[in-house]
Amino acid sequence: MSLCKDRVAIVTGAGRGVGRAYALMLARHGAKVLVNDLGSASDGMGADQAPAQQVADEIRAMGGEAVADTTDVADWEGAERMIRAAVDAFGRLDVLINNAGILRDRMLVNMTEDEWDTIIRVHLKGTFAPTHHAANYWRLQHKTGNPVDARVINTTSHSALFANIGQANYAAAKAGIATFSLVAARELQRYGVTVNALAPRANTRLTEGLREWTPEEEERRRPEWIAALVTWLASPESRNVSGRVFEAWGGGYTVAESWQHGPIAPASKDPAELGPRISGIVKHARSNAGIDRDVWLDP
């Protein structure tokens, strides 16, 4: 079965890890793929054309269609060229998967300005810039009467959703991406574009050395489990799913339920009256979900 037959997809950060798994599975399901990867180290330093080219070659070797691209996704003009490159190569664009990312972990009292700025640039701007240019392409297609059934799939993180210590920069950027995805879903639905985000759990070079995993955990953290969901979200079958944030790994898929209104207290212009009121609503509010709390439902 080819869920994405003849669809054209861009996958950023596709030279390694989960991005590579996304590109390969999309290709196996009939998609034509622009494989984007700057080829930097896990901290964002350096560049290498080989990772993107190797994945593109692998796709072509199995009979698919792919081109390699080494654009810096956070470069404004570069992101526009990347969108144009996919259209020039394959005649259209249907799917944008924003996956490129790096890590520069540090406790916030030790974090440098550059460590903050670089992470925000790569993750948050590196999601916004390609999405902006892709959205303008789809808006033009819609205005000229061409049917649009497009997808944006962004990458957030459990660190963002559940507040992992030591990652204030990364978590802030990824939380921004989650909310950006919800706003973009509402704005772009008029053009025939769905927008979703997912928080993957997988063993990649960004998670190396975090802890030892059992064989069962290793299997559940293989990127193919996440690539399956990404491929389905990229397909025409997902046209009615938008504005959602998914958690994904081999243990299952779940929908993160975003911010919810909690208990309410009467307002007052006198701060001296607020102590019992605020203490009361805090007491009756649900605790924040923790990073280690899982709710997995069997089908």
Q: What is the pLDDT of residues 162-203, one digit of tens each?
A: 988 999 999 999 999 999 999 999 999 999 999 999 999 977
Predicted confidence at residue 42, as pLDDT, reads 72
Residue 296: the pLDDT is 43
In eight-state DSSP terms, residue 106 is B
Query: How many angstroms separate the CA atoms of 258 and 242, rounded?
Result: 14
Pairing label, strands 150-155, 66-69:
unpaired
pLDDT tier, 295 (very low <50, low <70, confident <90, very high otherwise): very low
Which of 234, 211, 233, 231 has its CA nearest to residue 221?
Answer: 211
Q: What are phi and psi of 165, to 5 degrees?
A: -70, 155
In angstroms, the CA 293 to CA 257 distance is: 14
| 54-59: long-range pairs with CB below 8 Å, 24+ | 54/15, 55/14, 55/15, 55/20, 55/23, 55/24, 58/24, 59/23, 59/24, 59/27, 59/33, 59/35
Residues 26-48: tens digit of each pLDDT: 999 999 999 999 987 776 667 67
Name the pairing type of β-strands 32-36 and 150-155.
unpaired
The pLDDT of residue 255 is above 90:
yes
pLDDT average, residue stretch 233-237: 98
217 pLDDT more than 90: no
Q: CA of 51: how far to CAs of 17, 40, 56, in Å?
A: 11, 9, 9
pLDDT of residue 200: 94
pLDDT, averaged across the chain? 92
The pLDDT score that the predictor gives to residue 282 is 94
Residue 206: predicted pLDDT: 61
Pairing of β 66-69 and β 32-36: parallel
pLDDT of residue 210: 58
* CA dist., res. 91 & res. 85, Å (int): 9
Count CB neighbours of 203 within 10 A.
18
In this predicted model, what pLDDT tens digit does every residue of 117-161 receive, in sequence order? 999 999 999 999 999 999 999 999 999 999 999 999 999 999 899
CA distance 252 to 200: 11
Q: Tell me: the pLDDT tens digits for 69-78?
A: 999 999 999 9
Rounded to whole angstroms, the Cα distance separating 114 from 52 reads 27
Dist CA 131 CA 74 (whole Å): 11
- In one-letter notation, the amino acid at residue 7 is R
Domains of the chain and CATH, by start: 8-256 (3.40.50.720)
Distances (CA, A) of 286 to 160, 262, 282: 18, 8, 8
Q: What would the pLDDT profile of 67-115 be if each residue is shown by its tens digit?
A: 999 999 999 999 999 999 999 999 999 999 999 998 898 999 999 999 9
Biggest alpha carbon–alpha carbon distance for the chain? 72
The model's confidence at residue 292, banded by pLDDT at 50, 70 and 90, is low
Q: What is the pLDDT at residue 103? A: 85
What residues are labeled active site? 157, 170, 174
- Range with lowest mean pLDDT among 31-40, 210-219, 244-253: 210-219
